[in-house]
Amino acid sequence: MSLREMAYSSDCLFVVSVVLLLQFLVAPASALPLNSTQYIDKLCQMSAIDDKIFCLQTLTGYPGALYAGDSVTLAEIVISGLLIPQVEKTMRFVLVTEKKEPSLKTQFQKYHETYRTIVYSLENAFGELRLFPRTATYEVMTCTDQITQVMNLIGKNQEMASKTLIDMTMQMKKLLPLGVAATQALGG
């Protein structure tokens, strides 16, 4: 067998292996639980949700949420899969900006502290979901106050870093009602 034939054979084997692997990794729609979106639908219809379309699009677009077998699991996914990563992403931005922009250091340290408080509250909420859903709801709701505090601290600052932080904070503000509704769905 020539070198060229061996390379072609190796490429074919690779393609066939990938195709077979994808059949196992990509779950067909028939593999979803029968009522896979019932918990999402219930959550998005709750009174804490103002933007029901955003809620449905966000949760049905997040694979973990589609496989939630109960309301508790969905609440865990919302907090640990959507809210906490958004806060952590924002915190990383704040830390980088603190280091890159010495003139903004004091101001961005305040944002960092506030976002650290938000992470702490969300982690507490996650830990309370199964036993104390009302406490979890309270913890998530305090994050709304913290977001408002960040917006007030930013005020009318117009430099690029503040504008970016406002955008990131507004995204968090849109996601928080999902966390509130998810905890309320558990009786919180």
**pLDDT value for 154:** 87
Mean pLDDT of 127-146: 95
Of 179, 166, 167, nearest in space to 83 by CA? 179
Q: What is the dihedral of CA 61, 64, 70, 73, to 10 degrees?
A: -120
Residue 47, pLDDT > 90, answer yes
pTM: 0.78
End-to-end CA distance of the chain: 69
The pLDDT value recorded for residue 36 is 60
Within 10 angstroms of residue 134's Cβ, the number of other Cβ atoms is 13
